[in-house]
Amino acid sequence: MRIQLASVFVDDLDKALRFYTETLGFVKKTDLDLGGARWLTVVSPDDPDGTELVLEPDAHPAVRPYKEALVEDGIPAASFAVDDARAEFRRLRDLGVRFTQEPVQMGPVTTAVLDDTCGNLIQIHQQ
């Protein structure tokens, strides 16, 4: 068993695609029109056949309150591995990304938390 898909709920698919590709550096893997719905995934450029991140519309009535509660409590919706959390923090900050947590070392892991502009907090981590 392995993880093939993981999802993050976003408020605007086109805005999310721009942020996750142009800012975070993922690449678009799938973009299908399903007749009123859209299947949109991104992947790491280092692992194009690896785990796909599904950019899911947050239109379901339960999703927005869920997302708002996570953000209010400072809980990231997802966590992405990076080679150097401090360097990635600087790169993204220089691109205008807003962080709610600057890099913090917790034992063998360094984390930082950013706002994805689509209603989520996203953690980056270096182990």
- The residue ranges of every structural domain in the chain are 5-126
In this prediction, residue 97 carries a pLDDT of: 98
Residue ranges of the chain with pLDDT lower than 50?
none
According to CATH, what is the number of the domain 5-126? Answer: 3.10.180.10
pTM, two decimal places:
0.94
CB atoms within 10 A of CB 35: 6
pLDDT of 36 reads 85
